[in-house]
């Protein structure tokens, strides 16, 4: 999709939804409220027994008491007071004859807007749900999360060079492992003995533990497990070296704990500097623009955290890989050869339990979101080589700490990106809890501390 246009439409839809639910709908759903109140300054007051009586105005002058000896000045003042009282009575009579304004009970009316709280809660909930649907059901989310891209990445000659690079690195690994094994076995130290002697001793130790604990049942298994955890470190080291020397010699077979593959890592295994630079330039020039265009991710935010060559052998080694997801945001694999039978990648749908198989041509890459459930189908004849890469999408460069200009539509408004971030957060917190438990138990002393 055109991510620029798609994200602009998301912004427009969000603005329209907010205006609709915050301003328009509340205006039409609000009700007018009419209230009335008595005039407190009216000339009518209420007595204690509930009857309304005329209130006495404080502006009316009190009648003068006649003096015992009338004087001309008192007579004049009495006449003027009587005149004022007559005029006041006429004014009251005229006021009583005038019609009352707006209300016969001389009450003032006020109008207001009333909005029910329940309606407000419902509108807020509907607005939130609509915003979620606008973001989630857009191509900005659905397309990256459910799309598998097949595109050419390398030529056949370049694929053949990558296989040659892997075989050369495996040969170097074999030489280094053989030297390391010889150094361990030839040391003039009683602890460094032949591997068969060490294995025999470890087996006797397990048998003794089983005999002591009762010779069977859960207790015997627990004793064997405890003895296995206390094996000689040299024996464990030599076992790993022997695994490296097994066919295919020089290839790592236990690098991924839960889903091990027979592979060689481009960084940790002895590839030459020239080979690494050559492959990095090819991937930066071809794969990075592909990821940017397909998933709408700024290329400066894309980081390869694991790149390795995997081999699947029909008769020796590993023929297939069971269902799994990858520990990254994006993953890709490139077929490097032909001349084999079987193989391919199967992608599973979690919703309807369906699947789709892909058998790319040599040099073609399968690019998808890393959380799509997939598996490597069995190679039935020959050897199949693929180049696999895990890509992370970072808001900040993990080495420099600088921002990568990753758009919010590719991060916090992108649910596949959030899914990986939350998963990584849960895993980190679980590791931290386990580390605290081990440190606490180890610091307690005694047998438990020595064992840990």
Element (H, E) at 275: helix 273-295
Q: Whose CA is closest to 367, among 154, 148, 152, 146?
A: 148
Residues constituting the chain? 452
Run means of pLDDT, 10 residues per run, the chain, 452 residues: 91 94 86 57 45 46 51 58 60 54 52 73 92 91 87 96 96 91 69 50 48 42 43 75 86 83 92 95 93 89 92 90 90 95 92 91 94 93 95 85 86 84 82 84 46 28
What is the model's pLDDT at position 222?
40
- pTM beyond 0.75: the answer is no
pLDDT value of residue 309: 96
Q: Which of 242, 132, 261 is nearest to 195 (CA)?
A: 242
Cβ neighbours of 385 (radius 10 Å): 21
| DSSP category for residue 216 | S
Nearest Cα neighbor of 149 from 351, 293, 312 is 293
Structure tokens at 446: 């005694």
pLDDT at 256: 75
**Cβ count near 18 (within 10 Å):** 13
Report pLDDT for 175.
Answer: 93
Beta strands in 131-236 (DSSP E): 149-152
**pLDDT on residue 93:** 56
CB-CB contact of 347 with 374 (8 Å): yes
């Amino acid at each position: 999709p055109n991510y620029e246009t798609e994200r602009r439409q998301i912004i427009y839809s969000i603005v329209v939804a907010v205006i609709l639910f915050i301003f328009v709908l509340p205006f039409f759903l609000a009700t007018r409220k009419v209230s009335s109140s008595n005039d407190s300054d009216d000339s009518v007051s209420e007595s204690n027994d509930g009857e309304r009586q005329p209130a006495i105005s404080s502006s009316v002058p009190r009648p003068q008491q006649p003096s015992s000896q009338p004087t001309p000045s008192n007579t004049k003042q009495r006449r003027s007071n009587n005149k004022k009282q007559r005029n006041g009575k006429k004014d009251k009579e005229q006021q009583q004859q005038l019609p009352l304004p707006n209300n016969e009970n001389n009450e003032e009316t006020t109008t207001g807007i009333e909005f029910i709280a329940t309606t407000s809660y419902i509108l807020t909930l509907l607005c939130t749900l609509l915003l979620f649907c606008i973001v989630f059901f857009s191509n900005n989310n659905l397309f990256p999360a459910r799309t598998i891209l097949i595109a050419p990445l390398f030529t056949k000659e370049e694929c053949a060079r990558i296989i040659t690079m892997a075989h050369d690195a495996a040969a170097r690994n074999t030489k280094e492992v053989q030297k390391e094994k010889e150094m361990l076995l030839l040391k003039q130290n009683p602890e460094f003995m032949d591997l068969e002697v060490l294995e025999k001793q470890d087996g006797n130790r397990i048998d003794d533990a089983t005999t002591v604990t009762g010779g069977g049942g859960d207790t015997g298994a627990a004793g064997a497990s405890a003895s296995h955890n206390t094996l000689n470190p040299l024996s464990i080291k030599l076992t790993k070296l022997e695994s490296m020397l097994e066919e295919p010699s020089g290839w790592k077979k236990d690098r991924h704990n839960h889903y091990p593959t027979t592979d060689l890592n481009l960084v940790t295994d002895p590839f030459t500097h020239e080979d690494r630079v050559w492959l990095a330039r090819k991937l930066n020039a071809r794969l990075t623009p592909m990821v940017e265009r397909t998933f709408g991710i700024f290329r400066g935010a894309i980081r390869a955290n694991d790149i390795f060559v995997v081999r699947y052998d029909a008769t020796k080694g590993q023929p297939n890989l069971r269902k799994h997801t990858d520990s990254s945001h994006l993953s890709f694999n490139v077929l490097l050869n032909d001349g084999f039978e079987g193989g391919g990648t199967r992608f599973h749908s979690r919703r309807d339990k369906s699947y789709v198989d892909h058998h790319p041509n040599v040099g073609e890459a399968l690019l998808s979101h890393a959380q799509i459930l997939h598996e490597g189908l069995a190679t039935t004849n020959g050897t199949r080589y693929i180049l696999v890469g895990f890509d992370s999408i970072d808001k900040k460069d993990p080495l420099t700490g600088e921002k990568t200009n990753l758009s919010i539509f590719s991060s916090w408004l992108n649910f596949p990106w959030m899914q990986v971030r939350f998963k990584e957060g849960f895993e980190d917190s679980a590791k931290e809890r386990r580390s605290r438990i081990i440190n606490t138990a180890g610091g307690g002393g005694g047998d438990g501390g020595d064992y840990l």
